[in-house]
């Protein structure tokens, strides 16, 4: 008899996930089976559930791209991992390995890239099928629940900070202090930057201060651009926008110092107006950044293993996923919820 597992699936966009009993999948040639220990809940999972983006996943699907677990079975021909290894199954589920982008270690933009919990079933399930060439290798010093947020929120905010090209001693704005942003503050501090945290919730800003932010600005009060320009003495050298909210984007461009770089990682559906004269005359760079490559993953996890970055997590069972989504949509999750499969 085939063994069963629990999984939370999106059957219809915008509707609650359905918790089901599914067959435990068998790894095919070149695949591995991972027994999930923990999986973080990213705002991207909520965009996926809502069908927010132009590229939509095929229904039904299992979200989750911060799944960490133990390799329990290998398909034929697998040599990159062995049974018993602790791995993470990330957003960058797999890529072709041969195109111009893969050859340049820019595999997140590979045209054949598959996305965990989106085009492939993800970690809101007791078992996950993964590609051993693209899993994250979890350092021994990191518990599964602590590693989970690092394999999406961590790598994305870490890479985003690097992409601003802000240097030690310079200012960075982190806009949106949720799952990505609370880690971004820690990476930026560990990299020697001055951090100005921006959010619309004073509790998130208090949290940013506890994590080392040098200045905080509530974007709901007054003119947040003027407040940041004042706090940073002329605008931040780098700005990282993680907020899933369109007004944060135009504001972020305004917070950027002359010759600075504004990196966009939040993906609310829609567009934002770009003040062309200001961008041109101030020589501002606006840049998108999409997770990171496998080297970025190893680096982002190393900060965690060395104790320089630690996700603040709230553990919940898989059965609570719909309540977690409701709170995430309202901005009521303090930092990151991690689904705990050990209980």
130 vs 227 by CB, closer to Zn ion: 130
Q: Tell whether residue 299 is a contact of ligand NAD (CB under 6 A).
A: no
Residue 17 CA to residue 10 CA, distance in Å, equals: 5
CB 38 within 8 A of CB 150: no
> Which range, of 39-47, 137-145, 216-224, 256-264, touches Zn ion by CB under 5 A?
39-47
Encoded tokens for 55: 């590229």
Is residue 245 near ligand NAD by the rule CB under 6 A? yes
Do the Cβ atoms of 152 and 91 come closer than 8 Å? yes
Q: Of 74 and 240, which has the nearer Cβ to ligand NAD?
A: 240
Chosen residue from 90, 178, 235, 238 binding ligand NAD by CB under 6 A: 178
d(CA 254, CA 260): 11
Q: Give the residue nearest to ligand NAD (CB).
A: 178
> How many C-beta atoms surround the C-beta of residue 14 within 10 A?
9
| CB nearer to Zn ion: pick between 42 and 196 | 42
Site residues for ligand NAD, 158-177, by CB under 6 A, read 175-177
* Pairing state between β 4-9 and 18-23: antiparallel
| From 32, 71, 198, 225, residue interacting with ligand NAD (rule: CB under 6 A) | 198
Q: Which of ligand NAD, Zn ion, none sits in contact with 150, Cβ below 5 to 8 A by type?
A: none
The reply to whether 92 sits near Zn ion by the rule CB under 5 A is no
Query: Sign of torsion, CA 335 337 342 343?
Result: positive
Give the separation between CA 158 and CA 187, rounded to whole angstroms: 6
Examine residue 110 and tell whether it contacts Zn ion (CB under 5 A): yes
Under 8 Å CB-to-CB from 242, ≥6 apart: which residues? 156, 157, 160, 174, 175, 176, 178, 180, 181, 184, 265, 266
Name which position in 78, 152, 200, 309 contacts Zn ion (CB under 5 A): 152
- Which residues contact ligand NAD (rule: CB under 6 A)? 42-44, 47, 152-153, 156, 175-181, 198-201, 204, 219, 242-245, 247-248, 265-268, 289-291, 328, 331, 333
- Which residues contact Zn ion (rule: CB under 5 A)? 42, 44, 95-96, 99, 102, 110, 152
């Amino acid at each position: 008899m085939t063994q069963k597992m629990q999984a939370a699936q999106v059957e219809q966009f915008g509707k609650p996930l359905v918790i089901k009993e599914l067959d435990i999948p068998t790894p095919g040639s070149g695949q591995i089976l991972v027994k999930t220990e923990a999986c973080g809940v990213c705002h991207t999972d909520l965009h996926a559930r809502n069908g927010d983006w132009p590229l939509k996943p095929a229904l039904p699907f299992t979200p989750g791209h911060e799944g960490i677990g133990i390799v329990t079975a290998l398909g034929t021909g697998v040599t990159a991992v062995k049974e018993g290894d602790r791995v993470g199954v990330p957003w960058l589920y797999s890529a072709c390995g041969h195109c111009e982008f893969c050859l340049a270690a820019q595999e997140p933009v590979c045209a054949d890239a598959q996305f965990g919990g989106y085009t492939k079933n993800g970690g809101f399930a007791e078992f996950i099928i993964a590609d051993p060439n693209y899993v994250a290798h979890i350092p021994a010093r990191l518990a599964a629940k602590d590693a989970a947020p690092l394999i999406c929120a961590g790598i994305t905010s870490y890479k985003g900070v690097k992409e601003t090209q802000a240097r030690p001693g310079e200012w960075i704005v982190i806009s949106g202090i949720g799952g990505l942003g609370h880690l971004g503050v820690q990476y930026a501090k560990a990299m020697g930057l001055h951090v100005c945290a921006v959010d619309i919730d004073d509790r998130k800003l208090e949290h940013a201060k506890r994590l080392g932010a040098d200045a905080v600005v509530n974007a709901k009060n007054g003119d947040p651009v003027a407040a940041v320009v004042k706090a940073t003495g002329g605008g931040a050298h780098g700005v990282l926008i993680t907020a899933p909210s369109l007004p944060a984007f135009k504001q972020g461009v305004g917070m950027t110092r002359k010759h600075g770089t504004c990196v966009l990682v939040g993906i609310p559906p829609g567009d934002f107006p770009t003040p062309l004269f200001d961008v041109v005359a101030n020589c501002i760079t606006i840049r998108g950044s999409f997770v990171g490559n496998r080297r970025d993953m190893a680096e982002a996890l190393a900060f965690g293993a060395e104790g320089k970055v630690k996700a603040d997590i709230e553990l919940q069972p898989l059965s609570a996923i719909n309540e977690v989504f409701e709170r995430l949509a309202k901005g009521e999750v303090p930092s990151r919820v991690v689904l705990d499969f050990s209980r």
